[in-house]
């Protein structure tokens, strides 16, 4: 494939045609914040944290779904972008009940880490305190909707990688919710293979191994990457 | 006849229709508005009265589409005189027959030449209220399907395309994208399979333009779609119509069945090699499903949520195939453009906004209903002359266009012409045609809160700024209305407007702040009046406020 040259934050670089801005930036060592993106899953451009400025266009574009073009000039960390990222994270913290101090993912949470990196140290919006419940019906895993940021990683990994199709999004707006099958108890799911991929993919403490207590929910992403790579490169020993 | 329709057949149907025309026609509006106040009962009683009077040789009682002055329904219009009876009931209906014989009638009438009607320019609504929308023969009698026949037999797809480009037609679904340019992109996109979609999801609160077109003249939309399919090289079409429109759905089903029976849809149309199959898809009433990528996901049987563009539908739409998606009114403009020519159409309207626009006129105004006016008509003409101004001696304060994606234009800008650019300059949009008039009694912060609540409820929830941002903006507006907010809250509201506008994934989020932004622009004092003094004293907006820490 042909290579394209472009500039990201003033750095000249070349990347393969068909690469996303996010991929090209990563190759060049420029880190763009992401939340819904996960290596191996198709991108949906949902969290809007990876938005970048592209010279010549008025619109901000998500780095994860935007393909590079020849001569593109990308800015990834202007003051405006940094401010938008902070506000977006701030909205997330006000949306559901993110009580880090008692969360299984405390210290291993992508949302928490990003907030730190983006300099978000307090929330100015009124908290919504929605009455979400915990689904603790599965024998191995739990789902705490209070911690869910609706990044849909679990849905995509369950469909694209595991092929089980257990996880869905139901409802809309602030009432949108990750469900198992037709909004059944996860423990009653006939499609769930209990593979645990959704738990590995989740960026926050929303999905966890049962029995883990505060701060214990550490992810092993290498497992997912191994699976994706193995599938793409057909490494299965049949 | 299936598949063997020719010009002669079409001509024959038309002549038969015209020959059967009776001296007197009583046109009864059977569109949804009048139907909700028993227009069907009116029609039945009229039919009975005609039969009883032994007048059935001379008088036809005809069910028609919208007669436009919806606020005065049920409406009955009597030809040839054109007398327009208002507020007709099944009980009072027989007196129309008596009036035909010259008797006095107690029925209220309205002047069919009043400004409300006289200033209309009917292209899209030319047949609305005139022909029976449930009979394809009636459409053929007004030269229906002649444009399709002409295109298939006399023109190649390229020249059809060129005509649409030259007409200057722009999309009527809201954004005003040049229709010819869109068609050209689909035509040029490589792919053996292409689709045409008609967007009939019309979800703006208060809007009923598309519904009226579908209920009043469904064949015009089918013909427009078939012509589009021929121009771009598609062989399958879908009409995506919301389930809340049962009458429109029924009329479309009837129309599709009739067109298929006559061989005007299906294979080998007009003995040409052109195939076009058309199906209905019923939407479950989510506003966001009107957004084109969400709509296509829904047609594919997926959850109706938007996806990032590019790729645009014209390059990769339904099932990855090039797809043309246009609004109902856009398609309804196509047959007249082909019948009368691009120059005729381009001669109507303004330099950059051609043709007419249909509006659903509503709110604090005397005459509410459906109007079609040339682009460039000043707002003042619409609300004061056609609409008759505010009722009960009120004063018009603002006009809202574009629904939840639009803005409020204050009375001192009433001389603005309605065209895409002028409305955008004022921070509103043309939108799909909702036009809500507000008088002195309307509080603008209330208006902003109403539309924000709508967007909050209709956000699909996929992206964070729209999902969580609309909730916070709505909360801040409620706080302001409850007189619990400070200048700092207003600053937060404005900051969120900016964020949600610029970072949301789809048009719903990107335009959701518009009603707030535009009321702040023209009616800021109404916000300020509601604010409370800040207990912490004034602070620069950017400085950190004592908020809760991230726990
Ligand atoms: C939230 C949202 C709702 C929309 N609803 C409609 C609708 O109900 N009808 C419509 O024709 N277009 C609607 N649109 C615009 C469509 O995405 C699309 O632009 C339009 O159908 C294109 O047709 P046109 O070029 O003929 O205007 C909506 C857009 C958004 C963002
Ligand atoms: S455990 Fe596996 S199959 Fe079950 S919901 Fe999670 S990803 Fe899907
Ligand atoms: S449960 Fe986790 S992975 Fe799934 S949407 Fe919520 S935050 Fe994302
Ligand atoms: S802007 Fe709103 S409606 Fe559009 S994708 Fe985002 S959440 Fe959904
Ligand atoms: S990572 Fe790109 S939008 Fe979420």
In this complex, the residue of B308, B459, B551 whose CB is nearest that of residue A45 is: B308
Residue B482 to residue A69: CA distance in whole angstroms = 50
Residue A172 contacts B, CB cutoff 8 Å: yes
Task: State the average pLDDT over residues B355-374.
Answer: 96
Task: State the average pLDDT over residues B413-435.
Answer: 94
Write the class of the CATH domain B445-528.
mainly alpha
List pLDDT tens digits, range B335-346: 999 999 999 999
Taken in order B430, B435, B441, B447, the sign of the CA dihedral is negative
The CA-CA-CA angle for residues A41, A44, A47, to 5°, reads 110
pLDDT at A215: 79
Residue B180 to residue B165: CA distance in whole angstroms = 4
**B539 pLDDT above the threshold of 70:** no
List pLDDT tens digits, range A67-115: 999 999 999 999 999 999 999 999 999 999 999 999 999 999 999 999 9
List pLDDT tens digits, range B427-443: 999 988 999 999 999 99
ipTM: 0.94
Residue B287 phi/psi, 5-degree rounding, is -55, -40
Task: State the average pLDDT over residues B73-86.
Answer: 93
Residue B270 pLDDT grade (very low, low, confident, very high; cuts 50, 70, 90): confident
Among all chains, which residue has been given the structure tokens 């030319």?
Answer: B126
For residue B509, give the ligand nearest its CA. 4
Taken in order B141, B144, B147, B149, the sign of the CA dihedral is negative
Superfamily name with CATH number, domain B143-346: NADH-ubiquinone oxidoreductase 51kDa subunit (3.40.50.11540)
- How many CB atoms sit inside 10 A of residue B443's CB? 16
- Ligand 5 pocket, A47 CB below 6 A? yes
List pLDDT tens digits, range B447-498: 999 999 999 999 999 999 999 999 999 999 999 999 999 999 999 999 999 9
Predicted TM-score (pTM) of the model is: 0.94
Mutate to test the pocket of ligand 3, among A206, A209, A217, A224 (most ligand atoms within 8 A of CB): A206
Residue contacts between A and B (CB atoms, under 8 Å): 120
pLDDT at B545: 42
**B540 pLDDT above the threshold of 90:** no
Provide CATH 3.30.70.20 ranges for chain A.
Answer: 99-232
Residue B548 pLDDT grade (very low, low, confident, very high; cuts 50, 70, 90): very low
Domain residues of chain B, as ranges? 22-115, 143-346, 356-442, 445-528
The CA-CA-CA angle for residues A45, A51, A52, to 5°, reads 140
Spatial contact of B510 and B481, defined as CB atoms under 8 Å apart: no
pLDDT at A1: 66
Which pair of tokens denotes residue B442?
């309307």
Task: State the average pLDDT over residues A1-22.
Answer: 94
List pLDDT tens digits, range B139-160: 999 999 999 999 999 999 999 9
Residue B475 contacts A, CB cutoff 8 Å: yes
Q: Do A48 and B458 touch (CB under 8 A)?
A: no
Element (H, E) at B149: helix B146-154
Q: Which fold has domain A99-232?
A: Alpha-Beta Plaits (3.30.70)
Residue A124 CA, ligand 5 centroid: distance in Å: 24
Helix H, strand E, coil C: the string for A10-26 is CEEEEEECCCEHHHHHH
pLDDT at B547: 41
pLDDT at B102: 84
CA nearest B492: which of A115, A126, A79?
A126
Q: Which fold has domain B22-115?
A: Glutaredoxin (3.40.30)
The mean of the pLDDT values for chain A is 93
Residue A220 pLDDT grade (very low, low, confident, very high; cuts 50, 70, 90): confident
List pLDDT tens digits, range B319-329: 999 999 999 99
Residue A213 pLDDT grade (very low, low, confident, very high; cuts 50, 70, 90): confident
The Cα-based distances of B359 to B12, B362, B379 in angstroms read 36, 9, 11
Lowest-confidence region among A209-218, B55-64, B337-346, B420-429 = A209-218
pLDDT at A235: 67
Domain A3-77, CATH among 3.40.50.410, 3.90.1490.10, 3.10.20.740, 3.40.50.2000: 3.10.20.740
Task: State the average pLDDT over residues B269-289.
Answer: 93
- Which of B293, B452, B463 to mutate: most A Cβ within 10 Å? B463
**A237 pLDDT above the threshold of 90:** no
Residue B206 to residue B152: CA distance in whole angstroms = 38
Spatial contact of A82 and A177, defined as CB atoms under 8 Å apart: no
Which pair of tokens denotes residue A216?
């214990």
Spatial contact of B404 and B455, defined as CB atoms under 8 Å apart: yes
The Cα-based distances of B351 to B84, B168, B334, B346 in angstroms read 36, 9, 19, 8
Nearest CA to ligand 2 atom 2: A195
Spatial contact of B183 and B232, defined as CB atoms under 8 Å apart: yes
Residue B339 to residue B347: CA distance in whole angstroms = 15
Task: Report helix, strand or coil for B521.
Answer: helix
Name chain A contacts of B460, Cβ cutoff 8 Å: 172-173, 176
Spatial contact of B109 and B69, defined as CB atoms under 8 Å apart: no
Residue B93 to residue B46: CA distance in whole angstroms = 6
Provide CATH 3.10.20.740 ranges for chain A.
Answer: 3-77
**B550 pLDDT above the threshold of 70:** no
Instruction: Please give the share of chain B, as a percent, with pLDDT higher than 70.
Output: 97
**A223 pLDDT above the threshold of 80:** no
Residue B4 pLDDT grade (very low, low, confident, very high; cuts 50, 70, 90): low
Residue B346 to residue A179: CA distance in whole angstroms = 52
Task: State the average pLDDT over residues B405-412.
Answer: 95
The CA-CA-CA angle for residues B249, B254, B255, to 5°, reads 95
Instruction: Please give the share of chain A, as a percent, with pLDDT higher than 90.
Output: 86
**Buried/exposed code over A42-57 (b: 16+ C-beta within 10 A; e: otherwise):** ebbbbbbbbbbbbeee
Write the class of the CATH domain B356-442.
alpha beta
pLDDT at A191: 97
pLDDT at A238: 41
The mean of the pLDDT values for chain B is 93
CB burial class (10 A; 0-12, 13-18, 19+) of residue B15? exposed
Does A102 sit behind a cis peptide bond, omega within 30 degrees of 0 on the bond before it? no
């Amino acid at each position: 494939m042909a290579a394209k040259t472009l500039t990201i934050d003033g750095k000249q670089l070349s990347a393969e045609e068909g690469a996303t801005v996010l991929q090209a930036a990563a190759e060049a060592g420029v880190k763009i914040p992401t939340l819904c993106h996960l290596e191996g899953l198709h991108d949906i451009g949902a969290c809007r944290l990876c938005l970048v400025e592209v010279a010549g266009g008025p619109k901000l574009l998500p780095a994860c779904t935007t393909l590079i073009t020849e001569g593109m000039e990308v800015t990834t960390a202007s003051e405006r972008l940094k401010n938008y990222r902070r506000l977006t994270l701030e909205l997330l913290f006000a949306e559901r009940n993110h009580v880090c101090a008692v969360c299984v993912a405390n210290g291993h949470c992508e949302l928490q880490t990003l907030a730190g990196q983006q300099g978000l140290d307090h929330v100015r919006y009124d908290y919504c305190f929605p009455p979400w419940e915990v689904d603790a019906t599965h024998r191995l895993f739990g789902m705490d909707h209070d911690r869910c940021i609706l990044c849909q990683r679990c849905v995509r990994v369950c469909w694209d990688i595991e092929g089980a199709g257990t996880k869905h999004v139901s409802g809309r707006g602030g009432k949108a919710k990750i469900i198992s099958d037709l909004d059944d108890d996860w423990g009653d799911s006939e499609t769930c293979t209990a593979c645990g991929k959704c738990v590995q993919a989740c960026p926050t403490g929303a999905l966890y191994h049962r029995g883990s207590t505060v701060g214990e929910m550490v992810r092993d992403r290498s497992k997912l990457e191994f699976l994706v790579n193995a599938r793409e490169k057909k490494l299965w020993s049949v | 006849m299936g598949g063997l329709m020719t010009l002669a057949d079409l001509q024959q149907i038309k002549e038969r229709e015209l020959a059967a025309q009776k001296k007197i026609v009583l046109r009864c509006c059977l569109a949804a508005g009048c139907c909700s106040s028993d227009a069907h009962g009116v029609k039945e009683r009229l039919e009975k009265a005609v039969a009883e009077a032994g007048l059935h040789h001379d008088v036809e009682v005809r069910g028609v589409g919208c007669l436009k002055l919806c606020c005065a329904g049920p409406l009955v219009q009597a030809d040839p005189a054109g007398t327009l009876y208002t507020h007709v009931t099944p009980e009072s209906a027989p007196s129309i027959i008596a009036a035909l014989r010259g008797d006095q009638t107690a029925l209220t009438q309205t002047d069919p030449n009043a400004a409300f009607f006289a200033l209309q320019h009917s292209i899209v609504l030319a047949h609305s209220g005139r022909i029976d929308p449930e009979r394809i023969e009636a459409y053929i009698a007004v030269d229906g399907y002649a444009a399709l026949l002409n295109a298939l037999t006399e023109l190649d797809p390229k020249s059809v395309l060129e005509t649409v480009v030259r007409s200057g037609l722009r999309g009527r679904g809201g954004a005003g994208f040049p229709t010819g340019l869109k068609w050209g992109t689909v035509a040029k996109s490589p792919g053996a399979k292409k689709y045409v979609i008609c967007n009939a999801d019309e979800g703006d609160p208060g809007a009923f333009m598309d519904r009226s077109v579908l209920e009043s003249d469904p064949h015009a939309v089918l013909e427009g779609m078939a012509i589009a399919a021929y121009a771009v090289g598609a062989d399958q079409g879908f009409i995506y119509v919301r389930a809340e429109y049962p009458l429109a759905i029924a009329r479309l089903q009837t129309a599709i069945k009739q067109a298929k029976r006559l061989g005007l849809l299906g294979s080998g149309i007009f003995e040409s090699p052109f195939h076009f199959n058309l199906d209905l898809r019923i939407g479950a009433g989510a506003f966001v499903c009107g957004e084109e990528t969400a709509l296509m996901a829904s047609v594919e049987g997926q959850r109706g949520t938007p996806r990032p563009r590019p790729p645009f539908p014209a390059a990769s739409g339904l099932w990855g195939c090039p797809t043309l998606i246009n609004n109902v009114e856009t398609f309804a403009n196509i047959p007249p453009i082909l019948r009368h020519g691009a120059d005729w159409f381009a001669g109507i309207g303004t330099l950059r906004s051609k043709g007419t626009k249909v509006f659903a006129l509503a709110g604090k105004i005397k005459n509410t209903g459906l109007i079609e006016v040339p682009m460039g008509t000043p707002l003042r003409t619409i609300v004061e002359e056609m609409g008759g101004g505010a009722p009960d001696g009120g004063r018009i304060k603002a006009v809202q266009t574009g629904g939840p994606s639009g803005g409020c234009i204050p009375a001192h800008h009433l001389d603005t012409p309605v065209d895409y650019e002028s409305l955008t300059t004022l921070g509103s949009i043309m939108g799909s045609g909702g036009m809500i008039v507000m008088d002195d009694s309307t509080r603008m912060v209330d208006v902003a809160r109403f539309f924000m609540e709508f967007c909050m409820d209709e956000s699909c929830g996929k992206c964070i700024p729209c999902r969580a941002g609309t909730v916070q903006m709505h909360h801040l507006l409620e706080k302001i209305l409850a007189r619990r907010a400070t200048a700092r809250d207003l600053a937060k509201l404005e900051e969120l407007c900016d964020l949600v506008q610029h970072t949301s994934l789809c048009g719903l989020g990107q335009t959701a702040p518009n009603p707030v932004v535009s009321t702040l622009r023209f009616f800021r004092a109404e916000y300020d009046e509601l604010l409370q003094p800040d207990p912490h004293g004034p602070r620069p907006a950017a400085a950190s406020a004592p908020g809760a820490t991230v726990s």
